Chains A and B, each alone.
Chain A
Amino acid sequence: MLAVENLKVHFDVKNNRGVKTKLRAVDGVSLHLKKGEAYGIVGESGSGKSTIGKAVLNLAPKTEGKIEIDGRDITMTNRANEAWLRQNAQIVFQDPHSALNPRMTIMRSVAEPIIVHTKTRGHDLRRRVEELLDIVGLSKQFIYRYPHELSGGQKQRVCIARAIALEPSLLILDEPTSALDVSVQSQILEFLASLQRDLNLTYLFISHNLSVVRYLCQRVGVMYLGNIIEEGTTKTVFEHPQHPYTKALLGAIPYPGATQPQSAPPLIGDIPSPVDLPVGCRFHTRCPVKVANLCDRLAPEHHHQTLGWASCHLLDPDLDKVGGKPE
């Protein structure tokens, strides 16, 4: 359904001395989503997870790589691809408060994709917008309201209505719940899950909230500094994490009560700058179990397990032969 091959998104930035350097936001990511699947991408802020979503929708410039949706190669950004892409893939943004034009009524916001891509106007358009609002669970009394008259959850529903207006097959959800109140979050999540079943949508769900991903997604990819470092079914990744980074992330989920069920050592320091990437394994600067003279030299390969893979030298069965010792 969605196939991303070796996607790279590099931005030209100037450092404080005015020298041009590359910011590698996404650096060689491959994704394969099946029809009707919900795939979650998790990672810290700055890991490049939002950039993937934007690059798929051509909202961020692709440096390298190939993107296919429904078997159609949309890597080239020509007019035909563009029009096709806009109707078949849509995005829901993180902050519903700023994702709606404050000067447009809900009617106009939701109707905009229909106006842009079809010839539906007047009464039919009005009916279609009412239908869409009904699907997302909003009564039609909202139709002539302005965004500032709506709550966060209602605004996010409007954004979802706008995103599904053209019946896309792929929906990219860029942290759709993290700007909402906790009680509203669960409503939106339940709604997203039922929407996926009803419309047979494929979700690319981007989030830093592991519990949310666990609830909604069948498969998950863990991202660190522009790379996916572990991928697998949600069950495998959450119950048997392989990569030390995944372990640390899962260990950082707060649980009620004093005892944490997982006892991975917490991560030290911040994520390194994507302008100045570490040599070797990108995680070695913060890794609690790094192998001296190996992790800071060689990038690890993907080591496949039954239901997923992770890229870490410690998973290499031939670790002794490669050299180096655990610290």
Chain B
Amino acid sequence: MVGSTNQRTNLATVMLIQDSNADHVSESFADRHASTYRTLRLYARTFRRNTSAMFGLAIVVVFLVVAAIGPWIVPFPEDATGAVHLDIKLQPPDSTHWFGTDEVGNDIFTRVVLGTRTTLQIACIVTGVAMLIGVPLGMIAGLVGGWVQEAIMRVTDVFLSVPGLVLAIAIVGALGPGIVNAMLALSLVWWPGYVRLVQAKTLALKNEIYVQAAYSIGASKLRIVFIHILPNCTSPIIVKASMDMGMAILGAASLGFLGLGAQPPFPEWGAMISIARTYLPDWWWYSFFPGLAISLTVLGFNLLGDGLRDILDPKHRD
């Protein structure tokens, strides 16, 4: 090891010389993250040029705002909690009741606005729980391989082979109808997509040279997972999550429509349409406005997801 010591001294000398003339100006946060700012600005520019993505973002933002301030802007808050005004039932839209009234005289505008919060909550929780289950499972399957991977992927395949909504109906049927059970059921059928996505991405990343380089440096497995693999999986996960928000809204509405989700008088769009369908076509506004709300949110999240895919897809970078 004599040579090695010698070498270390050499390197130390080189460094000493550099030390003396190196000036260490402390930089601001902005300096250190200049590259990040540049990247974000580039993303913002690409996104702004994408008309449909901006439209989707606008829809999503409007619905988020409505969900946030809903209880303070609705004209008849008591209509969401079971008030009955039979004297004004099934009124067409006018200046007092913008979206008309339903069969017990409740203001439909109020109920649609208050339903926004429920719907977005369901979407966030379902997608979130699905991610929490799916992402770790997918990563374990991709990294460990062998029989662990086989087991996880085969279970995933079983879940994927049954149509999600049918399975969700079965689960809610067993647990009993209700909004919490509906969310639970949807979460339980939603995770397999994430397992597939993350497992495929992990398998690809595992063979990336920078992951090999991390091994050659001596980085621990945990470090490789959390610093090298997970951050490089986030783009497709974000894109899929934003798409899934729309699909989860549709799923929750479908369960509501079948009478398995939120129970009346709780203002939920799917449940509203379920009752309103018997009043078609003469009292069209009753089902039209909740339906419009569902279509718009789903469309908004899908367009947003498409736009995010365009900017986060690494093939479009550089």
Per-residue contact bits, chain B 4-33, to A (CB 8 Å; 1 contact, 0 not): 101110110011001100101000000111
Q: How far is the CB of A59 from chain B (nearest CB, A)?
A: 6
Contact B217 A116 (CB under 8 A): yes
Within 8 Å by CB of B7, from A93, A127, A199, lies: A199
Size of A's binding interface in residues, CB under 8 A = 49
Interface stretch, picked from A9-17, A81-89, A203-211, A271-279, is A81-89
Q: How far is the CB of A93 from chain B (nearest CB, A)?
A: 5
Contact A35 B209 (CB under 8 A): no
Q: Does any Cβ of A come within 8 Å of B317's Cβ?
A: yes
Q: Does any Cβ of A come within 8 Å of B215's Cβ?
A: yes
Within 8 Å by CB of A200, from B7, B24, B35, B209, lies: B7
Q: Does any Cβ of A come within 8 Å of B295's Cβ?
A: no
Closest to B314 in A: A102
Contact A200 B6 (CB under 8 A): yes
Q: How far is the CB of A124 from chain B (nearest CB, A)?
A: 11
Given contacts A93-B209, A131-B15, contact A86 B216 (CB under 8 A): yes
Contact B7 A169 (CB under 8 A): yes
Q: Does any Cβ of B come within 8 Å of A36's Cβ?
A: yes
Q: Does any Cβ of B come within 8 Å of A99's Cβ?
A: yes
Q: Does any Cβ of A come within 8 Å of B313's Cβ?
A: no
* Chain B interface, >50% SS class: helix
Contact B218 A116 (CB under 8 A): yes
Q: Does any Cβ of A come within 8 Å of B81's Cβ?
A: no
Inside 8 A of B146's CB, which chain A residues have their CB? none
Q: Does any Cβ of A come within 8 Å of B3's Cβ?
A: yes
Interface centre among B11, B22, B213 (most CB of A within 10 A): B213
Contact A100 B14 (CB under 8 A): no
Contact A86 B218 (CB under 8 A): yes
Within 8 Å by CB of B218, from A87, A126, A131, lies: A87
Q: How far is the CA of A105 from the CA of B231 in the complex (A)?
A: 13
Within 8 Å by CB of B209, from A71, A95, A113, A149, lies: A95
Contact A144 B209 (CB under 8 A): no
Inside 8 A of B209's CB, which chain A residues have their CB? 93-95, 98-99
Question: What band does the interface of chain B fall in when counting residues whose beta carbon is under 8 Å from A?
Answer: 35 or more
Inside 8 A of B158's CB, which chain A residues have their CB? none
Contact A148 B208 (CB under 8 A): no
Within 8 Å by CB of B18, from A35, A102, A134, lies: A134
Inside 8 A of A86's CB, which chain B residues have their CB? 216-218
Per-residue contact bits, chain B 211-228, to A (CB 8 Å; 1 contact, 0 not): 011111111100100011
Contact B210 A99 (CB under 8 A): yes
Inside 8 A of B7's CB, which chain A residues have their CB? 167, 169, 199-201
Per-residue contact bits, chain A 200-230, to B (CB 8 Å; 1 contact, 0 not): 1100000000000000000000000000000
Given contacts A103-B232, A116-B223, contact A127 B24 (CB under 8 A): yes
Inside 8 A of B231's CB, which chain A residues have their CB? 101, 103
Contact B10 A198 (CB under 8 A): yes
Q: How far is the CA of A317 from the CA of B207 in the complex (A)?
A: 48
Contact B35 A112 (CB under 8 A): no
Inside 8 A of B24's CB, which chain A residues have their CB? 123, 126-127
- Chain A 1-56 interface residues, beta-carbon cutoff 8 Å to B: 1, 35-36
Inside 8 A of A70's CB, which chain B residues have their CB? 1, 4
Contact A130 B215 (CB under 8 A): no
Q: How far is the CB of A83 from chain B (nearest CB, A)?
A: 7
Inside 8 A of B223's CB, which chain A residues have their CB? 116
Contact B10 A112 (CB under 8 A): no
Q: Does any Cβ of A come within 8 Å of B39's Cβ?
A: yes
Q: Does any Cβ of A come within 8 Å of B282's Cβ?
A: no
Closest to A107 in B: B32
- Chain A 156-173 interface residues, beta-carbon cutoff 8 Å to B: 159, 162, 167, 169
Q: How far is the CA of A71 from the CA of B18 in the complex (A)?
A: 33
Residues of A within 8 A of B (CB): 1, 35-36, 57, 59, 70-71, 82-83, 85-87, 90-91, 93-95, 98-105, 112-113, 116-117, 123, 126-127, 130-131, 134-135, 144-146, 148-149, 159, 162, 167, 169, 198-201
A-B contact pairs, 5 of them (CB 8 A): A35-B3, A94-B209, A113-B217, A113-B218, A199-B11
Beyond the given pairs A101-B232, A144-B31, A144-B35, 6 more chain A to chain B contacts, judged by CB atoms under 8 angstroms and listed by A's residue number, are: A90-B217, A93-B213, A99-B210, A101-B231, A144-B32, A200-B7
